[in-house]
Chain A
Amino acid sequence: MDIPILKIEDFLIISFQNELSDHDLEELRENVLEHIKKTNAKGLVIDITALGIVDSFMARTLSSISDMAALLGTKTVIVGIQPAVALTLVELGLRIKWKLLTALNLEKGINLLRKSIESEKEIAHD
């Protein structure tokens, strides 16, 4: 399955529409990193609103995408985690990294990314 990676301004957006296989996720990881390099995107939004379940493997893969993107200088925000999914992940024993950006929906996520990138610019200017 090909998961489309959209580009808006400086941001890349991935929006999952279906259940993902492990293979899809690993393929996606490679594609995203290539896209980041090609487009020089400042931010990456991963929208998982449509996912009714996220298990530990999927969570690990998403987290590693965000870590690798960070190495390439791109900030990641995960948006649309459903309440039931959040609760299940916490009970499963997953602890979210404090620096990982999260938001309720796509719009809030993009705003958060902008803000976070702006504030870093300011620090650089000072």
Chain B
Amino acid sequence: MTEDSIEVKNEYDIISARGFGRGIASRLGFGVVDQCRITTAISELARNAVVHGKGGTVTIKTIQNEKKGIEIICKDDGPGIEDIELALKGGYSTVGGLGIGLSGTRRLMDEFHITSGPGKGTTVTIRKWLN
């Protein structure tokens, strides 16, 4: 199991975080479509941290037990989300509006956990398993 963190403070860090994630996903043996899902999920979370959380860190872990996979933790110390249910509700509306980031990320990954509250910042943990 390896673990690496990258700070995301501005939009250029979002690109770095994506490249970093794609490299690890590819080395773990994820296919092209899964690599794209993972990279997109990282991009969504990192952008949330930069835009709403005033910056944060993205940690990427490889899981190599009997089940192999990738775990991504995105943490920021921003104002936090007041209504998580609402933030996750963002559905299938055409382009525009917020919310698609979190709800969409959940759809791209196998596991999705979020802890957040006013003044407590936001931590999102996502996982994708290799089958």
Which residues on A are within 8 Å of B, measured CB to CB? Answer: 19, 21-23, 52-57, 59-60, 63-64, 82-85, 87-88, 91-97
B contact face: mostly helix, strand, loop, or mixed:
helix
Mostly, the A contact residues are helix
Cα of A96 to Cα of B93 in the assembled complex, Å: 10
The residues in B between 1 and 58 inclusive whose CB is less than 8 angstroms from any CB of A are 11-12, 14-15, 18-19, 22, 32-33, 35-37, 39-40, 43-44, 47
Contacts A92-B108, A95-B92; is A55 near B33 (CB within 8 Å)?
Answer: no
- By a beta-carbon cutoff of 8 Å, the part of chain B in contact with chain A is 11-12, 14-15, 18-19, 22, 32-33, 35-37, 39-40, 43-44, 47, 90-96, 100-101, 103-105, 107-108
- Which chain B residue has the least Cβ–Cβ distance from A61? B95
Q: Which residues of A contact B33 (CB under 8 A)?
A: 83-84, 87-88
Interchain CB contact (< 8 A) of A19 among B15, B103, B104? B15
Closest to A19 in B: B15
